[in-house]
Structure formats: C-alpha cells, structure tokens
Chain A
Amino acid sequence: MIRVGVPSKGRLMQDCFDWFGARGVGMRRSGSDREYSGVIEGVEGVAPVLLSAGEIPRELAAGRIHLGVTGSDLVREQLGEDEVAEVAKLGFGHADLIIAVPNVWIDVETVDDLDAAAAAFRAAHGHRLRIATKYHRLVRDFLQRQGVADYQLVDSQGATEGTVKNGTAEAIADITSSGETLRANHLRILSDGLIHSSQAVLWASRVAEWSAEDLAGYAGLAAKLGVPARPF
C-alpha cells in the first residue's frame, strides 16, 4: 500500500484535494471534521495520510510515507536530494523566501550592498550583522554562494518581521507572499534577495520501501496524474 502524506487542514489541504480531484483522484477527509483520516477514490493501492504540512518532510525522510505534498521551501531546508525526488510541481502555495532590510537603509539595494554594510556594521558595533530566520540552511547556502561575510543568523520561529523593530536582528530572511507584512514592519526586499521561490510539490521518498506491488500501484496513480510511471 502506498502512503501519501497530504496536508491535514486549511487552504493547502483544499488546494491539494482540488489538484488530485481535477486528475480523477478523489480525496477527502473522512469521519468528523476533527478526525484526521482520509479516503481516496479512483485509484487502487493508495492510502492518504493526513499530516501537518510541516511534518511531511520528516515523514518522507523516515520513509514512513511514500509520497507527500508540502512546500519546496520546507523540503529544501530540511532534506537532501538523496532522500526525496520531485514528482510534480502543483502550482499553488506560492511563497518566496527573501532577504529584507529596513526601508531606511537607503544605501542597501542588493546583496552586494548588504555584504558591504555588514562589514561596516561589524566594525562599528563589534558583532556581526544579525539576520533573523528559520530557514538557516537555505539562507546560509545562498549567502555563502554569493560570498557574503560578517553576518550571523539568529533563529526566529515566528513574527520574524518584528525582530528588526524589536532590536534582535538587523535584517530578516523569511517567506512572503504579498509583502504587506514586510511593508507594515518598515522592511524592504533586496532587489536580488530572492533565495527560493517556493510552491507546493508532490515528493516521492527515496527512503521508503517500494515493493513491486507499490510500484504497480504508483504506475496507476501516475497515469491519472500525468507524471512519469516511476517515482524516481
């Protein structure tokens, strides 16, 4: 039996059900509204597993689910290419991981400016310029590729836009969809500060055990979804 992890609530769940539904695979929650179990119709040998979107990367990495729908930001932050394969981009759940600085930094427009400002900031304040984020790996890889120095990442698991005003960071790296929260907090996105353009993706676990029966079931599902007949 192939286990498919799908988001258990909210807009992401509905968009996900709609995406599968449009391809002839009916998916819905069963039982009461509070019960996290689901049913799938139109394919054989596939069982839905309703999970918090944030837990789906971990379940894919552990091989407890064969397939899973979650944002590419979470998977790229937490997993490697030897753990999951991308099956299909689903075209919803768009959000960008960006770097933003105070709007009053009139001298900072690009990552190059941020790097130079970080050098001067460190000399003036005696500590590295702090960037608040929860996406440590993606942000660090991005800044390392760009050759940025003299910064430090400080962890922020929520209300990241407020860290600059609260004095716990000089800049932020966070997910934004409209930019309104950034503007409300007097922040501005660097013109080349797009780290990752995220959307919902259907992933296949390379860690899960794929029996011959599972692969046959997958081929049936794949035919309906219009994706290659093998998961990777």
Chain B
Amino acid sequence: MTPKAAIRAEGERLLAAFVQAGAVPVEADILQPAGTLLDLYGEDIRARAYVTDDPVKGEMMLRPDFTVPVVQAHMAHGAEPARYAYLGEVFRKQARGSGRASEYLQVGYEVFDRASPEVADAEVFALFRDLLTGLDLRPVTGDIGILMAAVRGLETSDRRKAALLRHVWRPTRFKALLDRFAGRAPVPAGRLALLERLKAGSPAQLIAEAGTFVGLRSSEEIAARAEALVADAETPPIKATEAALLYDLLSLEAPAGHALSHLRGITPMLPAIGPAVDRFAARLDALAARGVDVATLAFEASHGRTALEYYDGFVFSFLGDGMPPVASGGRYDALTAVLGAGAFIPAVGGVIRPGLVARLKGAV
C-alpha cells in the first residue's frame, strides 16, 4: 500500500470504531466561508489556514478543522442527543522548515448531550484511550473551566474580569493583565501620561481639543472608555492572597488525583471555583468508572490554553515523542452558543491523526 492508502485505511478503521461507539458519520465541505472562522478565531487564523477567493461566495478557507462545520450542522438540524464521526483532510499552513504536513487526515468524534457532561467527557477520553492502546502515548488532561471560574470569582471589577476572560486563550496577554491588575507590574508609562491627560478635562472637551474628528468610532464610545480608564485606575489591586492562588492555579501540574486534593484545599480561599472543582471530581469518578487510573493521569491546569482553540472545560491530548499531538480534544460549550445564534448545547469531542497512528504502527 502507498503511504496515503495506508493512512486512509487507518482512518477508516478509526472511523468504523467511532461509528461502532454510536456515532453517525457526517461529511463537511472542504471550502468553508472564511467569515465565520475569522469571526471566531480572529485574524490569527490567516497565518494557519489557507484562504482563497470564490467569485460568488467571496473569501473561503480550506477547512482547517471539522468542529465548526459539524457544530453548525448540528445546531441547524440536529436531534438530541447526538454523536457524530467524520474522516477527511484538514489544511494548515506550517512554519518554514518545520517539516510538518500542511494537509493531513483527521478522524473525529463529537458528542452533543445535555444529560451529564462529565460522563460524556469520560466517554470521549476513554474511547480515544482504547483506540490508541499500545502506541505508548502520554495522555495529558486539563480543565479550562476551573481557571475561568477562578477569574469570575476574583474580588475585582467586572471590567477586569471580562478582560481576563477574553484573553484566557492568550497566556502572555493574560499574564500581563493579571500582573497589572494585581499590582505586580507597574502601570506602563504611556498609561500614566494618558490618565494625567484624562484627568485634565472632560472627555468631550479633550476630544474637541484633539482636532478634526475622523473614523467610525464615535465620541460616545471614546468618552465611555476614557471614563472607564479613570475608574479602573481607582480600582484597588486584586488582593495578594487571591492573586497568589490564581498564579498557583495557572502553574498547577500534577497527577489528577493529587490535583483534585490540591484544588479542594484551595477552594475555601477561592470559593467561586467550588462548582468547577465538583465537576472535575465528578469527571474523575466517571473516568475511573471507565478504568482510567486517575492516580497517575497527568493534569495541567493550563493545558489547552493556546490561540485558535475554543475549549472552555475538559481538555486532553495524547502525545508522542517528536511529533505533533496524535490526538486532542475537549469541551466547547460556548462555541455551540456562538454558532447556534442563541441556542446552546453542551458539546465535547476530539480528533485523531491517522497519519501519526500509522507512523507509530510502522505502517508508513
């Protein structure tokens, strides 16, 4: 068999296993409207996805993943609960000299089920583990929901919480904001000068003094943010104890069982994470019920916090040496709300790269 045929055969085997597990096989277009993906991921995705032009439909992208079209199809006319499986090429630009494939097969499994999210999380993880048995992969898990709950529970302004939540997937920016809100980083010189100026007059007066008005952003919008900046400057820093807990959470890496004890230990000091920690505990029970050894399962609180992702709860990867993740997935409840135009359903799923599985099996 040629390598491509061997990889496709591996993909077909995995797809059949997903169907066996109860999924309905679905197809998705290779050409996806660019607008939806750009609105979700922002301009960053142009560096990762191939963009092309259609004379009628406008800007299109070669499918960078299946999740968005599968969620859209489900939100449009899916019955509940639903399990879907798919197999097909995805296209990703790669850095020069990385040697990584820019076109490869993905086989995936997605669960839309309101009944018990933690049980669904465990179902997906255990299914992937079973299919990848014997390949000597290292599973890593995380839970972005705990981090988001911790931010929501901070004793600070809603504006600061919103700024942190907006950047949960951009660790560098998130840390810069947290450092500033916690008083660990000095206020930038530019901001101090700006505050001085803003205190020198009313926003309307300052805007008038700034000369000819140009642009779509209205003077009301400008004034509203100017007033918010002044109010923010008077907001006290996040308390040192609270900030320390959040920094601790960001760097938490431990076997899942230990991580749970640790999180239980800090919950009295950060009560807002209580429900998220309960969900974490329920998930570990569900995983244990499926034979996963949670005493050794790796847990990293910051796992899955990379750009171009949309996970907001459980996340997992199966890692091999010297290659991209062989499989990855997670929960993306918020994405269904965004794509469902108001409708919402809890969703969890993941993908496997048959090409890497075939390589690990020595088939290519």
A interface, CB within 8 angstroms of B:
80-82, 102-107, 109-110, 112-113, 115-117, 119-121, 124-125, 128-129, 136-137, 140-141, 143-153, 164-165, 167, 170, 185-187, 191-192
Contacts and interface: CB of A to CB of B under 8 A. Distances in A.
Given A106-B210, A164-B214, 12 more contacts: A102-B217, A106-B197, A107-B194, A110-B191, A112-B188, A115-B173, A117-B217, A121-B217, A129-B217, A140-B43, A140-B46, A149-B170
A144 B307 contact: yes
Contact of A121 (B39, B173, B221): B221
Given A82-B96, A104-B214, A110 B190 contact: yes
A164 B42 contact: no
A128 B214 contact: no
Given A104-B207, A105-B222, A107-B229, A140 B190 contact: no
B43 A117 contact: no
B42 A128 contact: yes
B166 A149 contact: yes
A82 B191 CA distance: 39
A186 B225 contact: no
Contacts of B188: 110, 112, 192
A119 B160 CA distance: 13
Interface in B38-79: 38-39, 42-44, 46-47
Contacts, number: 122
B35 to A, nearest CB: 10
Interface string B204-247: 00110011111111010110111001000000000000000000
30 contacts: A80-B96, A80-B97, A102-B215, A103-B210, A104-B207, A104-B214, A104-B219, A105-B215, A107-B194, A107-B198, A109-B194, A113-B191, A115-B173, A119-B166, A120-B224, A120-B225, A128-B39, A129-B217, A136-B46, A143-B43, A147-B172, A148-B173, A149-B170, A150-B42, A152-B38, A153-B43, A164-B215, A167-B215, A191-B189, A192-B190
Interface in B182-207: 188-191, 193-194, 197-198, 203, 206-207
Contacts of A153: 43, 46
B221 to A, nearest CB: 6
Contacts of B173: 115, 146-148
Interface in B127-175: 163, 166-167, 170, 172-174
